[in-house]
Chain A
């Protein structure tokens, strides 16, 4: 069986060899102004290394999702900078950012966010189509990833015909299949029952260990915290703790 790691080719030598995947410098995100000013994130300085399995935790409104959105280029910082694979993503234009997200970032959302009119296989294949990967290579990768996430036999089912856990597996497969530098998962187990959540987390943990993929979670799920190699705690938009585990 070919693994994704075996298929993987470095996007550029510098980024592939560098240990640092993400670096945030004095990252701030404020909403509103004057009396309604909300400081969602304040002066966040973080470095995430390749192969980390990191959980960003904190209470609701602490800025977890905001941090993930800024790292993923879905939102622009009020001040500060985000470097992903040594590239300043906050300075990119709309199309550059789209291409960058396509090639470097995999997203897993709390609400799965699959395209309802595409089958499981097509949802996974879509991103590779954007990357211009050949049909043969796409088919090979889809087979490999569907096996890896335990979705064999469900290729032609549409999201509405899959359970929540199966949909989130498709979302994981979609995030991983493009071989991104980092996978950002925003509360990935929040909509899943406990058993399915554990299965999914174990699967991601295995992929992280076997293929050295970098995962960053935004969560307050204890199951993720148990498995994380690093826990970054946010309170009121500030990083208050950064714990690494062996």
Chain B
């Protein structure tokens, strides 16, 4: 207790210097916290946009489907797997999809199209597809009175084929049984815009797609992909790992969005590393100030260290005393930094900074740079400030611990 008292009083001995150090370290914390909040908030926003737009937080495929997609690499016993996933409390929504590259014919033109079979209700609960309907009405699994299934067509494809709601769309593909799949569908809606993910897609209901490609239906239902939305995107990796353990016996691979969108994830990580460099520079500048304070403090107290050692204080205890002083200073700096940064981060997380020019990201307008408040945003700067302070205190502490008591006592 007396050691803690001694450390506190040593800090308060030169109040102006300690206050300046506190402000410098607190300022460093503030800048780190703000940088992290903006970086994490922006990425979190982007991740939410694309995961909720189409990808989902976790996807399930047949093994190797992601690397080499194939009509034949299917998820079988779909209902059993869906039930298992839906029972998990972390799951907000799950939707199955079937992919079939096709030729789309409308009016007088033919274009290649990615035809996607979706469970219309589950897809609406899991992604934003329903909200992206520009013209017409969202897809159902019903047939028209003439016995045709409905289709939703991407904006660009509809333009290319000069299609509008109510027109006939002919799709030609290959069935899973090797037969030629071809059928007529009625355009129910036009989705997305010229920049969105759906621009060249055609959406069919799951039964329509299964029938079109001659895939299993009902109890034998098959799909190529299951997209899952969780309570939070940060749960993706642990959830995927856990689910993969449960599905070990099957030929299924569970992948978090970081694997599914690996190129985005890798570039995001690279960008984060870039921001670590600027954070390192902030910390370096702050550390120089801290080093100066600790060095001055220990040099001024050389004689006292001599006394402490002469009366029986072990070198390690002197070392610990200086580190304790630095630790206390760092803790209070973090507290000050937290008090300064929390209101700003909260404002960034709730209101954000409006962008002068909104960015269209896959049909979603990105008009505000949002911040984030999380344990990571708060704990990383705390850890960095404390660790860097202890690191720069190491040399003065070693010096004080190793000095001969006689030499220290003779110091002026």
Query: Chain A, 99-133, contact with B by CB distance < 8 Å: what is the 0/1 string?
Result: 10111000101000111111000100111011100
Q: A113-B409, A117-B9 are in contact. Are A99 and B314 (CB under 8 A)?
A: yes
B13 touching A117 by the CB < 8 A rule? yes
B311 touching A107 by the CB < 8 A rule? yes
Quick check: is A6 within 8 A (CB to CB) of the other chain? no
Smallest Cβ-Cβ distance to A186: which chain B residue:
B409
A109 touching B311 by the CB < 8 A rule? no
Q: A74-B409, A113-B303, A117-B13 are in contact. Are A127 and B312 (CB under 8 A)?
A: yes
How far is B409's CA from A177's CA once the two chains are assembled, in angstroms? 22
Taking a contact as CB atoms closer than 8 A, the residue among A75, A95, A101, A117 that contacts B311 in the complex is: A101
How far is B313's CA from A178's CA once the two chains are assembled, in angstroms? 13
Q: How far in angstroms is the closest Cβ of chain A from B342?
A: 33
Quick check: is A174 within 8 A (CB to CB) of the other chain? yes
A115 touching B2 by the CB < 8 A rule? no
Q: A69-B406, A109-B409, A125-B2 are in contact. Are A116 and B311 (CB under 8 A)?
A: no
How far is B310's CA from A107's CA once the two chains are assembled, in angstroms? 8
A72 touching B9 by the CB < 8 A rule? no
Residues of chain A lying within 8 A (CB to CB) of residue B316: 95
Residue of B9, B312, B315, B409 with most chain A CB atoms under a 10 A cut-off: B312
A117 touching B312 by the CB < 8 A rule? no
Q: How far in angstroms is the closest Cβ of chain A from B202?
A: 79
Quick check: is A98 within 8 A (CB to CB) of the other chain? yes
Q: A115-B6, A117-B10, A122-B5 are in contact. Are A98 and B314 (CB under 8 A)?
A: yes
B310 touching A74 by the CB < 8 A rule? yes
A126 touching B2 by the CB < 8 A rule? yes
Residues of chain A lying within 8 A (CB to CB) of residue B135: none
B409 touching A95 by the CB < 8 A rule? no
Residue of A74, A116, A129, A174 with most chain B CB atoms under a 10 A cut-off: A74
Q: How far in angstroms is the closest Cβ of chain B from A104?
A: 9
| Those of A124-171 within 8 Å (CB) of chain B | 125-127, 129-131
Q: How far in angstroms is the closest Cβ of chain B from A51?
A: 23
Residues of chain B lying within 8 A (CB to CB) of residue A75: 404, 406
Q: A69-B406, A95-B315 are in contact. Are A117 and B6 (CB under 8 A)?
A: yes
Quick check: is A94 within 8 A (CB to CB) of the other chain? yes
How far is B163's CA from A236's CA once the two chains are assembled, in angstroms? 114
Q: A74-B406, A118-B6, A129-B2 are in contact. Are A99 and B312 (CB under 8 A)?
A: yes
Q: How far in angstroms is the closest Cβ of chain B from A201?
A: 22
Residues of chain A lying within 8 A (CB to CB) of residue B119: none
| Those of B294-337 within 8 Å (CB) of chain A | 303-304, 306-317
A95 touching B314 by the CB < 8 A rule? yes
Q: How far in angstroms is the closest Cβ of chain B from A70?
A: 10
Residue of B10, B310, B311, B406 with most chain A CB atoms under a 10 A cut-off: B311
Q: How far in angstroms is the closest Cβ of chain B from A85?
A: 15
Smallest Cβ-Cβ distance to B312: which chain A residue:
A102
Residues of chain B lying within 8 A (CB to CB) of residue A127: 311-312
> Chain B, interface size: which category?
20 to 34
How far is B310's CA from A74's CA once the two chains are assembled, in angstroms? 7
Q: Please give the number of chain A residues whose Cβ is less than 8 angstroms from any Cβ of chain B in the complex.
A: 28
| Those of B271-308 within 8 Å (CB) of chain A | 303-304, 306-308
B312 touching A103 by the CB < 8 A rule? yes
Residues of chain B lying within 8 A (CB to CB) of residue A98: 309, 312-315
How far is B307's CA from A122's CA once the two chains are assembled, in angstroms? 14
How far is B311's CA from A114's CA once the two chains are assembled, in angstroms? 11
Quick check: is B192 within 8 A (CB to CB) of the other chain? no
A101 touching B6 by the CB < 8 A rule? no
Quick check: is B381 within 8 A (CB to CB) of the other chain? no
How far is B5's CA from A98's CA once the two chains are assembled, in angstroms? 22
Q: How far in angstroms is the closest Cβ of chain B from A66?
A: 10
How far is B5's CA from A5's CA once the two chains are assembled, in angstroms? 30
Quick check: is B26 within 8 A (CB to CB) of the other chain? no
A130 touching B406 by the CB < 8 A rule? no
Quick check: is B405 within 8 A (CB to CB) of the other chain? yes
How far is B6's CA from A66's CA once the two chains are assembled, in angstroms? 31
Residues of chain B lying within 8 A (CB to CB) of residue A129: 2-3
B307 touching A115 by the CB < 8 A rule? yes
Taking a contact as CB atoms closer than 8 A, the residue among B6, B307, B315, B406 that contacts A113 in the complex is: B307
How far is B5's CA from A114's CA once the two chains are assembled, in angstroms? 16
Residues of chain A lying within 8 A (CB to CB) of residue B13: 116-117
B304 touching A74 by the CB < 8 A rule? no
Residue of B3, B6, B306 with most chain A CB atoms under a 10 A cut-off: B6
Query: Chain A, 209-244, contact with B by CB distance < 8 Å: what is the 0/1 string?
Result: 000000000000000000000000000000000000
Smallest Cβ-Cβ distance to A103: which chain B residue:
B312
A126 touching B310 by the CB < 8 A rule? no
When A and B form their complex, which 3 residue pairs have the shortest distance between CB atoms, in order from nearest? A102-B312, A117-B9, A113-B307
Given A99-B314, A102-B313, A118-B6, 19 extra CB contacts under 8 A: A72-B310, A74-B310, A74-B405, A94-B315, A98-B309, A98-B313, A101-B310, A101-B311, A102-B311, A102-B312, A109-B307, A116-B304, A117-B9, A118-B5, A122-B2, A122-B5, A125-B2, A126-B2, A130-B313
CB-defined A-B contacts under 8 Å, sample of 20: A69-B406, A72-B310, A74-B404, A74-B406, A94-B314, A95-B315, A95-B316, A98-B309, A98-B312, A98-B313, A99-B312, A103-B312, A107-B311, A113-B303, A114-B307, A115-B6, A116-B304, A117-B9, A122-B5, A125-B2
